[in-house]
Amino acid sequence: MVSLLLAACGCAGDDGGAPDSEGQTVKDRTASATSPQPTSTHLTDEQAQQLFDDALRKLVDDDTGRIRMTAQLGNGAFSTDGHFRLSNKSLEARVAFGEGGDERVQVSLIAIGQRTWFRVDNAATGEAQQCWTGGDTRDIAETSGYDLPLGALGTPPAVAALLSAEPQSGNRSRIAVSAPLFEVLSSIVGSPTRAFGIEAASDATVTIQVIVYDGELGGWTISVANLFRAVQEAGGTLPEGAEDYLNDPDLGLVMALFDDPGQPLDIAPPPVDQQCPAG
């Protein structure tokens, strides 16, 4: 079947059974990230705030890192694997879409400040772009048919969602955090306004589960059911068939994972001779 994410924003990917470059599947990483930790103890609100603030400060101070993003909906999903530098708002990533384990479309992208380049490889049509095209998320959507979660000016949206988040409660491995709905949606679509009718100025929030490992932000998760419910409560629009996900919290999951903090990284534009001619 065509996933709801594909219907909402043109996103689809594997079913979680295909291993990544480290031999882990989406299901492996999900189980590891969401399973209870034996050393977990409940924190007071003040302790949860301090733990979250310290972990977020370290993520920002480290400046560089790796972001892996998955959104799994039934048999379809999308995945992002990339690296970022926060200080100059730069990001390079590979985004893969597919269904039933079949990667139909892969998009490579580079974003530095307000400049963006992308290259599309569409296995479904056999078309592979040989040069890098400059443009924004709308240009990418028009070229590839997919509304990419590019982020605001090169900052990964999964990170941006945390910058103005407020912790609510938690333990030493997981903290419930109230994050801007628009930013969380931006982690899976290029334009929450086009896909869900949620404006950037919206003050709507959604609760995500932030994972903390040894004082570092390991990532965050949210069920598609909770995400769709927040869209409903904010007056947004849901894709056809969303009721299945609202009725079954285990049917879909959105997850962000952070690692490789503070590694040397230089993200540069594509070489001029590899960029598509203007016009």
Q: What is the pLDDT of residues 43-62, one digit of tens each?
A: 888 899 999 999 999 999 99
Burial of 61 (0-12, 13-18, 19+ CB in 10 A): exposed
Q: Which domains does the chain have, with CATH numbers?
A: 4-17+40-261 (2.50.20)
Residues 244 and 224 sit within 8 Å (Cβ to Cβ):
no
pLDDT-derived band of residue 137, with 50, 70 and 90 as boundaries?
A: low
Q: Chain-centre distance of CA 181, in angstroms?
A: 13
Q: Using alpha carbons only, give the angle 145, 150, 151 rounded to the nearest 5 degrees.
A: 145
Give backbone dihedrals phi and psi of 159, rounded to 5 degrees, phi first. Answer: -85, -45
Can you give the pLDDT at residue 240?
77
pLDDT in tens, 232-262: 999 999 987 888 889 888 888 899 999 999 9
How far, in Å, CA of 120 to CA of 6, rounded?
Answer: 16
Can you give the pLDDT at residue 9?
35
Closest CA to 163 of 102, 103, 89: 89
Mean pLDDT, residues 190-216 taken together: 91
Whether the per-residue pLDDT at 150 is higher than 70: the answer is no
* 91 Cβ contact list (under 8 Å, min separation 6): 67, 82, 83, 84, 85, 109, 110, 111, 112, 150, 151, 154, 155, 156, 267
Share of the chain above pLDDT 70, in %: 73
Residue spans of alpha helices (H) in 88-235: 137-144, 157-163, 181-186, 192-196, 224-233
How far, in Å, CA of 247 to CA of 207, rounded?
Answer: 18
State the CB neighbour count (10 A cutoff) for residue 184.
29
Residue labelled with tokens 């869900």: 196
The residue that leads in pLDDT, 78 or 259, is 259
Give backbone dihedrals phi and psi of 227, rounded to 5 degrees, phi first. Answer: -65, -45
pLDDT-derived band of residue 145, with 50, 70 and 90 as boundaries?
A: low
How far, in Å, CA of 91 to CA of 110, rounded?
Answer: 6
Burial of 87 (0-12, 13-18, 19+ CB in 10 A): exposed
- Burial profile 191-230: b = 16 or more Cβ within 10 angstroms, e = fewer: bbbebbebeeebebbbbbbbbbeeebbbbbbbbbbbbbbb
The residue that leads in pLDDT, 49 or 36, is 49
Integer angstrom CA distances of residue 211 from 80, 168, 187: 18, 14, 17
pLDDT in tens, 166-187: 998 888 889 999 999 999 998 8
Instruction: Among 103-107, 120-124, 249-253, 255-259, name the most confident range.
Output: 255-259
Q: What is the mean pLDDT of the chain?
A: 79
Q: What is the pTM of this model?
A: 0.79
pLDDT-derived band of residue 263, with 50, 70 and 90 as boundaries?
A: very high
Q: How far apart are the first and last CA of the chain?
A: 37
Can you give the pLDDT at residue 151?
53
